[in-house]
Structures are given as C-alpha cells and as structure tokens.
Amino acid sequence: MKRRLMVLLGLLVVASLVLSACAPAPGGGAPAAEEPAAEAPAAAEQPSSGLGDLPRNETLIADILTGRVGSPDDFNNWVGWKWRDRGMQNLANEPLWSVDFATGEIINGLASGDPVYNDDFTQVTIPLREGVTWSDGEPFTSADVVFTVETLMAHEGFGDNTFFVENVKSVSAPDEYTVAFELNQPNSRFHTKFLDRWGCTWIMPKHIWESVEDPVTFKFNPFVGTGPYKLHSFDPSGFWTIWEKRADWDKSPTGMMFGEPKPTYIVFQNFADEGAKILAQLTHQADVLGVSSDGLQAVLQQCDTCRAYRRDWPYVVNNDPAQTGITFNTAKAPYDSKDVRWALLLAIDIADYMGIAVDGTGALSPVHIPSLSNYPDDFIKPMIPWLEEFTLDIGNGETFQPFDVNASQRIVEYAKGRGHEVSDDPAELGNLFGYGWYKYAPDVAEKLLVKNGFSKNADGKWLLPDGTPWQIACLSGTQAVNHDFRNCAAAVQAWKRFGIDASQYPSEANSSLNATGDFDVSGNWPAQEPWGAGPDLYRVLDWWNSGYIKPLGETTSGHPSRWSSPEMDAVIEKLRNTDPTDYQAVVDVGIEGLKIAIEEMPGIPTYGYVGFVTWDEQYWTNWPGAENPYTQPYTHWGPFKYMTPFLEPTGAE
C-alpha cells in the first residue's frame, strides 16, 4: 500500500511539473503571443458564411497553383513570398501594366499609356489612369505611386528596396495623374519593374500605409487594391480565400476597360492531392483547375460538362511563355566544353524525347525562347535560313549541319502512331508542334566526343577523357508531372541509350542546388523566361550577363548554367542602349543574342511549357479556349481579372 502511495505521489509531482511547463508553451510565450491576440478580433469580424450562403451559380471556384497558403492572414506582398496567386495578383490588385501572352499585348492597368523616357534613359514619366478608386472608396492618384516608391526605398526589409535605391534618384508627382522618375544611371527598362508578368512591384494605398508603424511586418489585412474584387474571407488554415465583386467595380481599371465582371464571388481553393482535386471537379465543386497530363485525361473521360483549352487532341495549353529543356553547368568539366554540350544534344532523338516527356503534346523550339505569341514570326521563322546553314566542326576536317526543319513532322508522326487525330493544316501544325529542331545524330555526337578525348570501353559505355566512367545525374524537383522532371527523365533515357551512365536526381533542394551550381546537368529551363509579349528579349539575354556569375558554391544572380561570353555581353550592352519601343531594332539585337546562344548551347531548348487546364461548363462558359483566345487561359496569372467580364453564367442550379 505504501509503495502505491509513493508511486501516485511521484506521478502527481511529475504531472504538475509537466503542466506548469506546458501551460505557457502553446501560447508561445510573451512576445509571440501578442501577434495572434491582436489579429483575433479582425478574424472574428469576418462574416462566417459557408458556401451554402454563397450561391453556387454566382460563384466561381478555382485552385491555387502555388498550394496551401502558409500565412493566410498576411497580404503584405512587398515582403517575402505571400502566395499572391490566391486572388491578390489575379483579382484584387491592378498593376501599372500587364503582359497577356495569349494576345501578345501589354494591357494598361493603372497606367494609361506607355512610359516616356528621355534620350539617355535617365528620366521617365508615366501617365496614370484617371477615375480609379481603391476598394475602400478612396481615389487612386500619383501620390500613391510616389509614396510606394519612397516607402520601399526607406525600409531595407522590402524585397525591392535595393532595386529602387540603386536606380531611383528621385520620384515626384507633377500632377495628380503623372509620375516622374529621375534615375541614377541610364536604364531603358526601368518601367518593367512595374510590368506584371506573374509579379511586379505593386502600388500601395497611401492612406492606409502612411499610418503604419513598421511597414515590413504590417499584414495588410484586409487587402485593399484597385482590382475589381475585394477580400470576402479566408481560411485561417490557408485552404481557401474568397473574393467578392466590388459594388463599385466600375471604378477599377478592369471595369473601365472590359465591363462588369460576371461572378459575384470567386473562391481560390487548395487541394493537397490531385486525386481529390479531380473528384471535386467531377462533382462540380470546382470550375477551373490546373492538373497533370493524366489528370486532364481523367477529367475529360469522366466529366461530360468539362473541357480543356483545346476541344481536340492535344487539349493542352501550349502558349505559356516558358521554354523548357536542359541546363548544363558550364562551370564544371566536361560541360564547360561546347562540343560536349552539342554532343549531348545530338544524342537526343527528339521524337522519342517528346514521347517520354509529354506524349508528343509540346511545341518544339530550336532557340532559347518558346514558339508562341509573336516569337515564331519575329524570331524563329526569320532565323530558319541561318539555322539551316549553321555548321559544327566535328573534327578531322569534317563538318555537320545539325538543324532539321522536319523535326516537328516527326512529332506529328509519333502522335499519329499513338492513335491521335492530327490536323493537316500547316499553320495549325506549326502552332502545335513548332518549326523544326535538330537531327538525331549519335554518330556525329560520337565524333565530337572523340575529338575531345572521350572514349568508349568494351561494354560500349562512355569514359571521360581521364578514363573514368562518365556519369550524369540530372537534377530536378521531385514532382514527376512537372516539366523539369519530364525533361530530365527524357534526357536520361536518351543518354542511357547513347551509352552514358545517366540517372535522374530529384531533390527537394532543387532550386538551391541550381542556384549554387551544385549539379552537372539539370532540368532547369535552359534560358530565363521571356516577357511573353513584345519584341524585347532583354529578360532572357541579360541572365547570361558575365557580371552576374558567382563562383561555384555561391548563389549566382544570373542563369544557373553560369555561362557567359564577351559576345553576349556586347549584345546585352547594345540592347540596353536600344529604345524598347523601336520594334525592329529590338528584334534584330535579340536575334543576334539567340544566335550566340545556339552556337554555344549552354542549355538545350526543347519544348515550350505545356499547361493542362480543365474548365467545367456546368456553371460558367465562354472560357478563353484555343478557338477564342481572348486572354490568357490561367486563373493564376494577373490578367485573370480581365477574363471575369467575359465569362457567361449558365444559371444552372
């Protein structure tokens, strides 16, 4: 009896110790506890209505591309990553300008026209749209823009702080609807900082931010913007955010330009798994989804009211302005040799490659920009004669012309072999499959390698010049449906068949490893994504600037390939001094840059990013499909707000 008593006593002691230790812990102690406590009343004030209260046929439900929101009560997009595609950039915020890659247009948002530079690009004035109000009713004026830039320059915690401090000497408002910048040094592309291509610098409402003590930690909840929608409510766990059409939608640039948005409510919802996401659409609980290739097939098979971007095969969105492919780490041997890089390219049978990567659904591009928008007409087609003449020196006095104008036709044959119906219209074929690529020439690849001291062992496996086996690990992310993984998978198959010990190296640290150069070959895009509209390739070429390269192990500011050349530097310099509004001049400099990139091949451009969008027409129709691409088709891009006035409700119950 005595013993048991002792045990109980001991337990009591422990329990009380545990309790006293535990009690402050969940609250997080004194300093941390203040934050949630201060936010709690704000959350409680929100109307707590379920979707039962939102009429389904006036509500549009889309998924969040970048996943569950980690900090749902924080809308301060000027600091760090805030999941801005949950409705912030695509509904509630209006930028000065937006890129629409489907139409190739630059859409004026808060700006009313193009920026005007002086002759040496040290001054720029921007005209602003009149009559716009913030979603809380206050008017938008040039004072907001000036305030934004000055605030960003005053606090180091803002992501854009360095850019503005380095570039801006002064900013002023000559009148209510004009902003004028004095720049520290000539910069002909200063205004692109405000051009929304999946993100840019947004304008802050001065009347809210001017009274904020610490703008870096300010949560900006609720979000106040000039877009046609305003915040309705959000899930504290980050699974959904609901936006409501502004009563004064006609005071937003969207309303002024395109009329009244149709959905009263727009829900951005996250699904942690693609399976459940698809089931939600099959049961009409989601209107627009981004899915995988096979997910798209599953939806089309089982949902009568669902459609894809294209009504027929290949169904996919192939006008996303990103060129996928393979990146070589040119700071590491043997990938520092352009012959080796070209050999690895020629070891690829592009028809096989495309079959493995995307079942033949992508558009090929032989250059480092995708085959979409104005790019084929401005760049790719004019470059074809040069490409056909382009010659490689493969040793022993032999030469080889690698370009194959019929490569795209081989993809068409692959698709027909898979039983798909493919149109015979050459214009449509060019649009779907591109305008040629490179020959499959393992024999030439072999000569190039032998020329550089490589050899094959008795088993037919390649050895490096120092006699050790050649191993390639292709670095990518871990999602098998993403294009960096697809490109690696296809390249690994091609190189294995060529006799190299190649393997896939998926890693969660993918982006960091790319940035620090801790890889040989990766599925990273072979060049920086272009704007997706207009003739300017500055965004692509400047990433190969030699000034950005850091030693291996440090984060590079340029492209992960760490490739540069004096010739390319000269082209970049030339582009900097070219007026961005002089169309043909900008195109010509761009072509010069692309030619250098082809000769040096720092990365292999393969196919343009293939997107998979499914639309349910149960509640909403008139989606911007391939037959009527009035705007870009995604809900996560900024111009989604310009799609909302064109959607048609079906009124279905």
Partner 1 sequence: MFVRRYLIPRFIQYILVIFVGITAVFFIPRLLPNDPVLRTISELRARGATLEPGAMDKIIADLTQMYGLEGSMLDQYGAFWARLLRGDLGVSFFQFPTPVSALIGTALPWTAGLLLTTTILAWVIGNVLGAFAGYYSASRWSQGIDAVAMVIRPMPYYIFAFALLLLFAYAIRWFPVSGGAKLGMQPSYSWPFIQSVLWHSFLPALSIVILGMAVWFQTMKLVVQSVVGESYVQYARLGGVTERKIVTRYVFRNALLPQITGLALSLGLIFSGALITEIVFSYPGLGTLLYRAIINGDYNLIMGITVFSIFAITTIVLIVDLLYPLFDPRIRYS
Partner 2 sequence: MKVFRDLLRDYRFFFGFWILVLMLVFASLSLFSPYDPGLWGEVPRDMRPSAEYWLGTDSNGQDIFWIATFAVRNSLTIALIAGLVSRLIAVTVGMVAGYLGGKSDRALMFVSDSLLVIPLFLMIVMLAMLIRDSMGVVSLGLLLAIFGWAWDARLIRSQILSLREREFTKTAVLSGTGTMRLVLNEYMPYSTPLIFSTLINNMAWAIGLEITLAILGLLDTSVPTLGTMLYWAISYQAVLLGRWWWVLTPIVLSILLFVALYWLSVSISEYLDPRRRIQRVGVG
Write out the two tokens for 453.
């001291």
For residue 480, the partner it binds in partner 1, partner 2, none, with Cβ less than 5 to 8 A by kind, is partner 2
**Percent composition of the chain: helix, strand, coil (DSSP 3-state, to 5):** 35, 20, 45
- Cα(524)–Cα(325) distance, integer angstroms: 7
Look at the block and give the residue holding tokens 């599925």. Answer: 523
Site for partner 1 in 302-361 (CB under 8 A): none
Burial (CB count within 10 angstroms: exposed 0-12, middle 13-18, buried 19+), residue 622: middle
Judge whether 411 and 313 are in contact, CB under 8 Å.
no
- Residues near partner 2 (CB under 8 A) are 274-275, 278, 292, 294-295, 297-298, 301-302, 352, 355-356, 473, 478-481, 489, 492-493, 496-497, 503-509
Sole window of 117-125, 170-178, 273-281, 489-497 interacting with partner 1 (rule: CB under 8 A): 273-281
From edge to edge, which strands make up the β-sheet containing 178-183? 116-117, 123-127, 178-183, 168-175
Structure tokens at 398: 């032999």
Q: Which is nearer to partner 1, 134 or 243 (CB)?
A: 243
Site size with partner 1, rule: CB under 8 A: 97
Q: Select the binding partner of residue 397 from partner 2, partner 1, none (C-beta < 5 to 8 A, by kind).
A: none
Closer to partner 1 at the Cβ: 79 or 346? 79
Site for partner 1 in 128-167 (CB under 8 A): 156-157, 159-160, 162-163, 166
Q: Which does 557 bind (CB under 5 to 8 A by kind): partner 2, partner 1, none?
A: partner 1
Instruction: Report if residue 419 touches partner 1, rule: CB under 8 A.
Output: no
From the list partner 2, partner 1, none, partner contacted by residue 197 (C-beta under 5 to 8 A by kind): partner 1
Contacting range for partner 1; rule: CB under 8 A; set: 17-25, 323-331, 378-386, 485-493: 17-25
Q: Which is nearer to partner 2, 11 or 480 (CB)?
A: 480
**Partners of residue 347 on adjacent β-strands:** none
Q: List the interface residues with partner 1, window 505-534 (CB under 8 A).
A: 507-509, 511-516, 518, 529
Question: 200 or 303: whose CB is closer to partner 2?
Answer: 303
CB of 286 to partner 2, least distance (A): 15
Q: Contacting partner 1 (CB under 8 A), which of 103, 226, 270, 487?
A: 270
User: Is-contact 296 303, C-beta < 8 A?
Assistant: no
**Is the CB of residue 99 less than 8 Å from the CB of residue 532?**
yes
Residue list 160-199, contact with partner 1 (CB under 8 A): 160, 162-163, 166, 197-199
Question: Is 653 an interacting residue with respect to partner 1 (CB under 8 A)?
Answer: no
Angle at 638 between CA 481 and CA 129, to 5 degrees: 170
The residue (of 478 and 577) whose beta carbon lies closer to partner 2 is: 478
For residue 167 the two structure tokens come to 């570039």
For residue 355, the SS3 value is helix
38-57 positions binding partner 1, by CB under 8 A: 43-44, 46, 48-54
State the number of CA atoms in the 13 A half-sphere of 223 facing the CB: 35
Q: What's the residue count for the chain?
A: 653
Question: Residue 165 or residue 276: which is nearer to partner 2 going by CB?
Answer: 276
Which lies closer to partner 1 via its Cβ, residue 455 or residue 557? 557
Choose from partner 2, partner 1, none: what does 159 bind? Cβ within 5-8 Å by kind: partner 1
**Please, which residue, 226 or 514, has the CB nearer to partner 2?**
514
Q: Which of 382, 467, 547, 551 binds partner 1 (CB under 8 A)?
A: 547
Name which of 278 and 626 has its Cβ closer to partner 2: 278
Residue 297 or 545: which CB sits closer to partner 2?
Answer: 297
Q: Estimate the crossing angle of helix 274-282 against helix 293-302, to 10 degrees.
A: 20
Phi, psi at residue 238, to the nearest 5°? 85, 15
496 binds, among partner 2, partner 1, none (CB under 5 to 8 A by kind): partner 2
β-bridge mates for residue 615, sequence order: 288, 307
Minimum distance of partner 2 from residue 294's CB (angstroms): 4
Binds 524: which of partner 2, partner 1, none (CB < 5-8 Å by kind): none
Partner from partner 1, partner 2, none binding residue 391, C-beta < 5-8 Å depending on class: none
Handedness of CA 290, 296, 300, 303 (dihedral sign): negative
Tracing tokens 């990553």 back to the chain, one arrives at: 81
Which listed option, partner 2, partner 1, none, makes contact with residue 269 (CB within 5 to 8 Å by class)? partner 1
> How far is residue 107's CA from residue 380's CA, in Å, rounded to a whole number?
25
Contact between 1 and partner 1 by CB under 8 A: the answer reads: no
* CA atoms of 494 and 490, how far apart (whole Å): 6
Cα R_g (the chain), whole angstroms: 27
Give dist(CA 442, CA 454) in Å, integer: 14
DSSP assignment of 287-320, as one string? SEEE--HHHHHHHHHH-TTEEESSSSTT--B---
**Interface pattern 199-238 for partner 1 (x via CB under 8 A):** xx---------------xx---------------x--xxx
Cα pseudo-dihedral 252, 254, 256, 260, rounded to 10 = -100
181/543 with CB nearer partner 1? 543
Q: Answer with the entry of partner 2, partner 1, none that 479 interacts with (C-beta below 5 to 8 A by kind).
A: partner 2
How many whole angstroms separate alpha carbon 516 and alpha carbon 556?
6
Within 10 angstroms of residue 227's Cβ, the number of other Cβ atoms is 30
